[in-house]
Amino acid sequence: MSDWSPFLGLPLWVWLFVIPTALAAIARLQRARLMPLLRRIWRVLDAVYLASGVLAAVFMVMILLLIVAQMGARWAGITFEGSTEFAGYAMAATSFFALAHAFSRGAHIRVSILLNLNNFTRMWLDAGAMLVAAIIATYFARYAVKTNFLSEMLNDRTQGQDQIPEWVVSFLSMFGTAPGNWGAIWEKTGDAWIYTPVWVPQLPMSVGTVLLAIALWDHLIRLLVTNETAIKGETVE
């Protein structure tokens, strides 16, 4: 972990792994006192997971519209440049935005043979599996975000024919830039169309993996506090 730069005086791995684990342990020990606060946080997180699921559905519809538009363009003898690439971006966005929502609704496959032995082993085996999954998801989320920054720093561009308005790139750049630099971003923005920077279609990957990691830590804490999993719709029993 030599490239995990410190953040606010602590190594990044402490923020990503040690502190969430400690918070889960504190929530277990102080569950009665923290329950009112946790319920408010859970309502907010549930809304975020639902919003990510809705966004995934929007991109799924976008895939359909792009395919229909591509078919219409072929019939009309018009070239729809970049349609294949845009459909691929929409498919990736659908997959990653749906991760947290699918997990919270029990849509991921869960083999629960060992969990059905008794209630005690069920809870602790489930908690152990969720802890491992949360650590792995956090690890992947960290590298997904790092990939975004590297692509932006290297100014990677698509190898296809897809182009997007420059103002779209400027607008998305604002979310990773200090407010004081927003004016400088828009001063350099023109009305031209540019080949898609790779970090733009990579954004759903970063957001989706971060949300999945948050969902796993969240459901681990819910399990430790309530002694039962909040995931109800298991696919495999």
- Confirm if 53 and 175 have CB atoms less than 8 A apart: no
**pLDDT at position 235:** 44
pLDDT at 236 over 80: no
CA 31 to each of CA 21, 24, 28, 38, 122: distance values in angstroms, whole numbers, following the listed order: 15, 10, 5, 9, 19
pLDDT at 187 over 60: yes
Q: How confident is the model over 2-31, as a mean pLDDT? A: 82
pLDDT at 221 over 70: yes
* Mean pLDDT across the chain: 87
pLDDT at 39 over 80: yes
Q: State the angle between helix axes of 19-29 and 31-76 in degrees (0 to 180), rounded to the nearest 10.
A: 130
**pLDDT at position 123:** 82
Among the residue ranges 55-59, 116-120, 180-184, the one predicted with the least confidence is: 116-120
Q: How confident is the model over 104-126, as a mean pLDDT? A: 77
Give 1's pLDDT tier (boundaries 50, 70, 90).
very low
Mind giving me the DSSP string for 109-159?
A: --B-TGGGS-HHHHHHHHHHHHHHHHHHHHHHHHHHHHHHHHHHHHT-B-S
**pLDDT at position 213:** 96
pLDDT (tens digit, 9 = 90+) per residue, 47-68?
999 999 999 999 999 999 999 9
**pLDDT at position 14:** 81
**φ/ψ of residue 10, rounded to 5:** -120, 145
% of the chain exceeding 90 in pLDDT: 52
Which DSSP category does 180 fall into?
Answer: G
CA distance 95 to 108: 12
Please give the structure tokens belonging to residue 70: 């591509």
**φ/ψ of residue 207, rounded to 5:** -65, -45
Give 233's pLDDT tier (boundaries 50, 70, 90).
low
The alpha carbon torsion through 68, 167, 140, 109 (nearest 10 deg) reads -30
**pLDDT at position 4:** 62
3-state secondary structure of 163: strand
